[in-house]
């Protein structure tokens, strides 16, 4: 699998949001590299990080969009909630049967979703964050 790498095309123009996204990209890269070498944090730690980071990032991003007066906030929140639900299901599945967890599938889902989310959904609020309100 070819990993998505951070480039300026993912920049929202907001330093905090971009920092969150950049950290996520680094986590995806580290996760992928650890799959190839069987080194790195145990799967339980990776899944826990994914859950915690996803929830923290979405909460922060939604507060920024609200502060900036982003008109499609509710629709964006629904997209976030759908991914929160997916992440919770991954976590629950792991807790119920760790051996069933396919790390490559989790990585592919997260990488694909996040990259497309930034380039699609997040770029829609970029003009509101650039006004300096957020």
Write b or e for each residue in 29-44: b if 16 or more Cβ atoms lie within 10 A of its Cβ, otherwise e: eebbebbeeeeeeebe
CATH number for the domain spanning 72: value is 1.20.120.50
Name which of 77, 63, 72 is nearest 127 in CA terms.
72
What's the gap between Cα 82 and its chain centre?
12
| pLDDT 10s digits, 49-98 | 888 998 999 999 999 999 999 999 999 999 999 999 998 988 888 888 88
pLDDT of residue 40: 52
Question: Taking the model in full, what pTM does it have?
Answer: 0.82
Q: Which domain holds residue 82?
A: 14-130
pLDDT of residue 3: 58
Q: What is the count of structural domains for the chain? A: 1
Collapsing DSSP states into helix, strand and coil, what is residue 72? coil
Share the mean pLDDT of the chain: 83
Q: Would you state the structure tokens that stand for residue 11, as one six-digit string?
A: 């920049």
pLDDT of residue 78: 97
């Amino acid at each position: 699998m070819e990993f998505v790498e951070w480039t300026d095309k993912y920049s929202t123009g907001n330093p905090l949001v971009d920092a969150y996204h950049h950290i996520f990209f680094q986590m995806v890269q580290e996760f992928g590299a650890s799959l190839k070498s069987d080194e790195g944090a145990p799967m339980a730690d990776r899944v826990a990080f994914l859950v915690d980071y996803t929830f923290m990032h979405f909460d922060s991003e939604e507060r920024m969009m609200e502060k900036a007066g982003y008109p499609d906030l509710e629709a964006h929140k629904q997209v976030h909630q759908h991914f929160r639900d997916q992440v919770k299901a991954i976590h629950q599945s792991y807790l119920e049967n760790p051996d069933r967890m396919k790390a490559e599938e989790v990585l592919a889902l997260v990488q694909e979703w996040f990259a497309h989310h930034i380039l699609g959904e997040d770029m829609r609020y970029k003009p509101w964050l650039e006004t300096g309100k957020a």
